[in-house]
């Protein structure tokens, strides 16, 4: 008879996610994970497989939760420009210890690039969804006169996604909240009708 699991799997996954988010995949040892998750080695293997499978599960959940938050901020304002601004500003945590982590997804791109097909597949689950909605919000902004009508909506959406990555990378590099907010507003102001 199998022994029942003596830990909360979701809590252990949260703790593992935090370690991978802070250190990246290669710099995270199994010992780091066991200490953070407060479980034994066999429990890790039984519940999650191996370090790689745990990382993929943690990253996928992180990306899903992040994208849900991005879309909520983007869609939360009646004004398309206000929604886009809320999206960018929402990336910037006031808490310096959280802000300094940047984005786990951007970190994965920095660590693996496009060479890992499993990570590319995870990105393909969330990136296009956000891109489509950003494109729609830009078009909505053009229709109501908030966004410059001469801007290509797809290019503007790609610019906003690149700005998101830049903000998150700058946060990881130690950028302060005030400076990052200024950059977010600068990017949004480039889209406004003149």
- What's the total number of domains in the chain? 1
CA distance 42 to 40: 6
94 inside domain: yes
CA distance 51 to 29: 8
> Can you count the helices (H) and strands (E) in the chain?
10, 0
What CATH number should be reported for the domain holding residue 181? Answer: 1.10.357.10
Q: Give the domain range for residue 135.
A: 60-189
96 sits in the region (left: phi over 0; alpha: psi -120 to 50; else beta) called alpha
39 inside domain: no
74 inside domain: yes
| In contact, 36 and 16? CB cutoff 8 Å | yes
Alpha-carbon Rg for the chain in angstroms: 19
140 inside domain: yes
193 sits in the region (left: phi over 0; alpha: psi -120 to 50; else beta) called beta
How long is the chain? 194
27 inside domain: no
30 inside domain: no
Residues 24-81: tens digit of each pLDDT: 999 999 999 999 999 999 999 999 999 999 999 999 999 999 999 999 999 999 999 9
103 inside domain: yes
Residues 95-153: tens digit of each pLDDT: 999 999 999 999 999 999 988 999 999 999 999 999 999 999 999 999 999 999 999 99
70 inside domain: yes
pTM over 0.85: yes
């Amino acid at each position: 008879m199998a022994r029942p699991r003596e830990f909360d799997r979701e809590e252990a996954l949260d703790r593992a996610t935090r370690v991978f988010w802070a250190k990246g995949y290669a710099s995270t040892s199994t010992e780091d994970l066991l200490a953070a998750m407060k479980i034994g080695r066999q429990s890790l293997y039984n519940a999650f497989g191996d370090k790689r499978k745990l990382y993929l599960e943690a990253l996928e959940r992180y990306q899903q939760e992040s994208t849900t938050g991005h879309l909520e901020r983007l869609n939360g304002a009646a004004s398309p420009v206000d929604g886009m601004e809320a999206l960018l500003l929402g990336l910037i945590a006031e808490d310096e210890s959280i802000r300094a982590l940047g984005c786990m997804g951007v970190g994965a791109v920095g660590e693996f690039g496009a060479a890992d097909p499993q990570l590319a597949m995870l990105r393909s689950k969330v990136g296009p969804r956000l891109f489509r909605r950003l494109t729609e919000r830009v078009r909505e902004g053009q229709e109501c006169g908030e966004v410059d009508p001469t801007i290509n909506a797809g290019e503007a959406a790609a610019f906003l996604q690149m700005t998101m990555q830049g903000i998150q990378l700058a946060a990881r590099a130690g950028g302060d909240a005030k400076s990052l907010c200024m950059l977010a507003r600068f990017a949004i102001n480039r889209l406004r009708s003149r």
